[in-house]
Amino acid sequence: MVARDAVRFAITTGGVGMAVVLMFFLLALYRGVRIESNGWVSSRPAAVWIAQVNTTNFIKASSFLPAAVADAAREQPGVAEAMPLLRLITLLETGQRHLTAIVVGIDSASTLGQPEVVEGTSQLSPGDIILDGALSRRLGAKPGDTLRIEGRPFRVTGISRGTNSVLTQFAFITFEDASSLLGFPGVASYVLVRALPGTNADTLATTLRASIPKVAVLTQLDFADNNMDELRGGLLPILATVAVLGGIVAVAVLTLLLYGSVLERREDYALLKAIGAPSRVLATVMMGQAFAVVSGGVIVGLGVYAIAVPVAARLAPAVPLALSAGTVIVVSACAFVTGVIGTLLPLGRIARIHPAEVFRA
Amino acid sequence: MNGRVAAVRLVDVSRTFREGSHSVVHAVKNVNLEFGRGTLTLVMGPSGSGKTTLLSLVGGLLAPSEGDIEVDSVRLASLSPAALTEFRLRRVGFIYQRFRLLDALSASENIELPLTLAGVSRPKSRQRAVALAARVGLDDRLGARARSLSGGEQQRVAIARALANDPPVLLADEPTGSLDSVAGQRIIELLHGAATEGASVVVATHDERLVPFADMVVRMEDGRVVDVARG
């Protein structure tokens, strides 16, 4: 019945759709932050990271090493390649805009440091810069544009993804340019080490610890996990809390909407009872209506999400949203379960409606 | 009863309602009546006289506090709640003052509702709805949403719905109360027609225009039958 009343159906499904889209956004944000903020570190094709003593991660630690550590690493057995990288936290300027970013100096000839480039090239020459996609949108800089770091011009040659740590973003320049910007030649932040085929990462880490003094050596797996732990201790719990609270609100809204939509048709149910509809028919009608409303709500939610994502990307480019098929399935299933609950709750009241009520003027 | 077989029999029927914790209202008191098949019976009286309660009792919507009711040879007191639901579906048609159509459904779907509930197949219920719509003069309005129909049209749909399962008893509560005189006259003719075709039509009404069509007029006051006039 409710599906045939266009206005009522639109209001109810719209409300359910908003509850669903709230959950899509919160879970997509949680997943997006989880993937993006650790994306570049966790996807390095390295076996081992070498860092300054006591440094355990990339996000919340400073690390300075002699660049010569890379040369020392190359001489060790089992090492295929060792690449120094230099991390700077500095200001990028384009015309009227200026933003702080993590600028990573890499050897672009090596895939150890190369980010995943979605536009332009991953090859860097002196004076080139690859910007994270969100950073590019926030700065309003696209490939071919020029920006300045410490007064020096850099030409944007590529746009990367998986390089948005939410609070800030990554940019990539040559190691030599980074070294020049730092002003201290011969310094690296980390050394990424690739193992020869058949060499175990733990064994290689042990070898490097034994042969290079006064450095921290961590396997890629441990380093990425440490990074994720830092995220878990920072932004992710806040987002998880917001997602849980949002979920509770969404469930409450959804339940209330369905509960209300059932009760508001009390007279219709009284009529059905009066003309001889058995209780199972009423329950079937109510469940059918809940199914129609929730199905409509999920479709509305997906539609609104699809429309809102590009808008959100424009308004808040640093906010990563990653909605998975799994999330859509779980949220939809939760919406249907909530729909059933929201319908079952007033079932007792509907069952108690006296069919003689239909005679009330 | 004009010698006709009784479709409805009420024996010493009373119905009380509790009002608050101490007060008891006697809505119907010691009523003994018989409504014949193929007759139109009017139940008349002022508001609060017990007309609607009487219809609810006959329709199995309310159980009597005392007494016995038999409809179409079925003793209502012997029926389980599920059987009573089935009884209302197949043996009684209800017509209300405010039509009580489901707004979101079309005229045809409203007429088909009792047939659907009775398990009649879609093509057959559709065919029946078309025939009933023609009978009440709404064959050209079958696809219209209930809310888009005029009051008179809605009441005609309600009559068609009440007739859908061809019930032996038709109960109408102030069927002309919300209609103008022209639409009301059409409803009177339809109810009279239903009685002519064999149904026992019981109408609770204030509308004196129905009296000339009635086989029996029952007048009630304070829950009691104070007069029974046979036509």
- For A47-54, what is the mean pLDDT? 95
* pLDDT of A143 above 60: yes
Q: CA–CA separation, B78 vs B71, rounded Å?
A: 12
- For A140-167, what is the mean pLDDT? 92
- For B6-21, what is the mean pLDDT? 89
Taking CA–CA distances from A266, the nearest residue in chain B reads B102
With CA atoms as reference, report the closest residue to A175 among A98, A74, A70: A70
Check residue A360 and give its pLDDT: 61
Chain B nearest CA to A347, separation (Å): 17
φ/ψ of B149, rounded to 5, equals -85, 155
Chain A nearest CA to B228, separation (Å): 24
B114 contacts A275? CB cut-off 8 A: yes
* pLDDT of A53 above 50: yes
Other CB atoms within a 10 A radius of the CB of residue B229 amount to 12
Taking CA–CA distances from A275, the nearest residue in chain B reads B89
CB pairs under 8 A between A and B: 63
Rounded alpha-carbon distances, angstroms, from residue A232 to A63, A134, A222, A237: 21, 22, 15, 6
Task: Tell whether B82 lies on the interface with A, counting CB pairs under 8 A.
Answer: yes
Q: How many residues does chain A have?
A: 361
Q: What is the mean pLDDT of chain B?
A: 90
Q: What is the 3-state secondary structure (H, E, C) of B9-73?
A: EEEEEEEEEEECCCEEEEEEEEEEEEEECCCEEEEECCCCCCHHHHHHHHCCCCCCCEEEEEECC
pLDDT tens-digit profile of B72-87? Answer: 989 999 999 889 999 9
In this structure, what token pair is assigned to residue A351? 């069952």
Identify the weakest region by mean pLDDT among A17-26, A37-46, A281-290, A343-352: A343-352
Type of residue at B170 = L
Q: CA–CA separation, A295 vs A289, rounded Å?
A: 10
Is the distance from CB of B167 to CB of B92 less than 8 angstroms? yes
Taking CA–CA distances from B147, the nearest residue in chain A reads A5
- For A192-218, what is the mean pLDDT? 94
pLDDT tens-digit profile of A240-261? Answer: 888 888 888 878 887 887 788 7
- For A291-297, what is the mean pLDDT? 89
Q: Which residues contact B213 (CB under 8 A, 6 or more apart)?
A: B40, B188, B191, B192
* pLDDT of B2 above 60: no
Task: Tell whether A361 lies on the interface with B, counting CB pairs under 8 A.
Answer: yes
Is the distance from CB of A322 to CB of A32 less than 8 angstroms? yes
Which has the higher per-residue pLDDT, B4 or A157? A157
Taking CA–CA distances from A282, the nearest residue in chain B reads B117
Tell me which of A268, A272, A359 to substitute to probe the interface with B (most B C-beta atoms closer than 10 Å). A359
Task: Tell whether B197 lies on the interface with A, counting CB pairs under 8 A.
Answer: no
Task: Tell whether B173 lies on the interface with A, counting CB pairs under 8 A.
Answer: yes
Taking CA–CA distances from A2, the nearest residue in chain B reads B104
Q: CA–CA separation, B154 vs A122, rounded Å?
A: 73
Which of A3, A267, A359 is nearest residue B52 as measured by Cβ atoms? A359
Identify the weakest region by mean pLDDT among A34-38, B32-36, B97-101: A34-38
Q: CA–CA separation, A356 vs A22, rounded Å?
A: 42
Which of A5, A355, A361 is nearest residue B98 as measured by Cβ atoms? A361
* pLDDT of B3 above 50: no
Q: How many residues does chain B have?
A: 231
Task: Tell whether A5 lies on the interface with B, counting CB pairs under 8 A.
Answer: yes
0.90 exceeded by pTM: no
pLDDT tens-digit profile of B106-119? Answer: 999 999 999 999 99
Q: Indicate if ipTM > 0.85.
A: no
Q: What is the mean pLDDT of chain A?
A: 88
Q: What percent of chain A has pLDDT over 70?
A: 98
Chain A nearest CA to B212, separation (Å): 26
In this structure, what token pair is assigned to residue A195? 């193992």
Q: What percent of chain B has pLDDT over 70?
A: 97
